[in-house]
C-alpha cells in the first residue's frame, strides 16, 4: 500500500510504500493532505501547543479552513505571533487511551520560533494563492 503525504502549505509531497502483512485496505493509496513538509514542519510545534482539546483535528478546524480559503487577517497574524490560535473555540481537556483524561492549560502558548514559522508559512501560502490567481486571469 502507498501512503502519500502532502504539505498543507505548499506543493511538496512524499510517498512511501508500506508492507502491512496480513492487513487489507480498500484503497491502493492513502492520501494525507494535512501534513507539513520539512520546510513547514515547525508549524506542527505551533499546532501541538495550541490545539489540544479544541476540535477533532486539523481538517475540522476553523483556523485551518480560514487559511485554506484565505480568510486570515492581520489581526489573526498578530494573535499567532503572540503564540495563540485566533480561532480557539473548544475544550480544556484531552482524552487518550494512554493517558486517560488530561486537563489542558488554556494559558499555554506556542514558542516564539513556532509562532513566527506559522505566520511565515501562512503568509507564503497566501502570497502563493494571490500569485496563482493573478497568473490565471
Task: Give 8-21 pLDDT, tens digit per residue.
Answer: 888 899 998 887 78
DSSP 28: S
> Which residue(s) pair with 35 in the sheet?
7
Task: Tell whether the model's pLDDT for residue 93 goes beyond 80.
Answer: no
pLDDT of residue 58: 67
Q: Over range 85-103, report the average pLDDT.
A: 77
Packing angle between helix 112-135 and helix 74-81, nearest 10 degrees? 150
CA gap 90, 62 in Å, rounded: 11
Label residue 96 by pLDDT band (50, 70, 90).
confident
Top pLDDT among 50 and 102 is at 50
For strands 2-7 and 29-35, give the pairing: parallel
Are the CB atoms for 7 and 68 separated by under 8 Å? no
Amino acid at each position: 500500500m502507498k501512503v502519500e503525504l502532502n504539505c498543507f502549505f505548499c506543493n511538496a509531497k512524499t510517498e512511501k510504500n508500506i508492507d502491512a502483512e496480513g492487513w487489507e485496505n480498500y484503497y491502493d493509496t492513502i492520501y494525507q493532505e494535512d501534513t507539513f513538509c520539512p520546510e513547514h514542519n515547525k508549524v506542527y510545534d505551533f499546532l501541538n501547543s495550541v490545539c489540544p482539546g479544541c476540535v477533532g483535528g486539523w481538517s475540522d478546524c476553523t483556523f485551518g479552513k480560514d487559511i485554506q480559503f484565505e480568510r486570515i487577517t492581520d489581526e489573526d497574524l498578530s494573535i499567532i505571533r503572540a503564540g495563540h490560535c485566533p480561532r480557539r473555540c473548544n475544550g480544556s481537556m484531552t482524552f487518550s487511551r494512554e493517558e486517560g483524561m488530561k486537563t489542558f492549560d488554556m494559558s499555554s502558548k506556542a514558542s516564539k520560533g513556532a509562532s513566527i514559522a506559522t505566520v511565515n508559512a501562512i503568509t507564503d501560502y497566501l502570497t502563493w494563492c494571490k500569485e496563482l490567481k493573478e497568473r490565471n486571469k
